Amino acid sequence: MDERANGPGDPAAELVGQAGRVLGWLYRGGWEVARRLPGGEAVERQARRVERAVVDEVRKRLDEDGPTELRRVITAGESPREPLRAAMAELLERSVTDSREASREYYFALVMRQLLPDEARILAALSDGAVFPLAHLAARTGLSGPTRYLLENASTVGRAAGVVQPGLVPFYVTRLIQFGLAEVGDEVAGLATQYELLLTDERVRALEGGRLGPRVVRLSLHISELGAQFWAASDPSARGVGR
């Protein structure tokens, strides 16, 4: 990271620089051997990119909500292993001393940092308890064995939410489910018309080619209990802020 971006003496820049040096100590000793191997230089370039990404992540996590002990140890320039040990010790301590509400709010903060704008729009569309059709497209193998899905979590919720990237709706929905903010339920008979609309989606139709086409597994999508709590804590309209 270019230290000139923040100016000389910037504490954040110095902290990230120290974190980068600590992380570098963990593997830099092996580069002399790696460079002599075929493709060694390419591997090194890739590792440098990974290092920069890790340093960026360290900087993001060393904020006011991050483990203060990890920030102190890295700043002090102690042994490379000590920041990890100190951070783990602090997390274990917090797991005992933090209240359920504090732990939940900390998780909400981590989720908020990772949410994409289109995902926020989808969550807003689910926030009033609305249920949307969801479908998986499974390959017809004719053999007994694990189901192979060609497409998972296709849904009309993206269209209803007005997302910018409709083609990424299955990816968005998958992430919201992984975060625990949305849940998958059984097929809803009252959504028959919307299921038919879902099957006209470009990505779904592209996979329906062939003599038989894929098997459509009809399900539904709705906000989870955790998602409802997350929305209640982050709903911008609660303070008069427009969406």
| DSSP letter assigned to residue 224 | -
Q: What is the pTM of this model?
A: 0.62
Task: Collect all residues with Cβ–Cβ distance below 8 Å to 20 and sequence separation of at least 6.
Answer: 1, 51, 52, 55
- Regions of the chain short of the pLDDT cut 70: 1-81, 141-146, 207-213, 239-243
User: How far is residue 21 from each of residues 1, 15, 16, 35, 241, measured CA to CA in Å?
Assistant: 12, 10, 9, 20, 42
Q: Are 214 and 137 in contact (CB under 8 A)?
A: yes
| DSSP letter assigned to residue 200 | T
B/e letters for 125-161, b = 16+ CB within 10 Å, e = fewer, are: bbbeeebbbbbbbbeeeeeeeeeeebbbbbbbbbbeb
CA 133, CA 189: separation in Å to the nearest integer? 10
- Predicted pLDDT at 185: 96
CATH class of the structural domain 116-239: alpha beta
The continuous run of DSSP H or E covering 183 comes out as strand 182-185
Task: Report the DSSP beta bridge partners of residue 27.
Answer: none
Which residues make up the CATH 3.30.110.190 domain(s) of the chain?
116-239
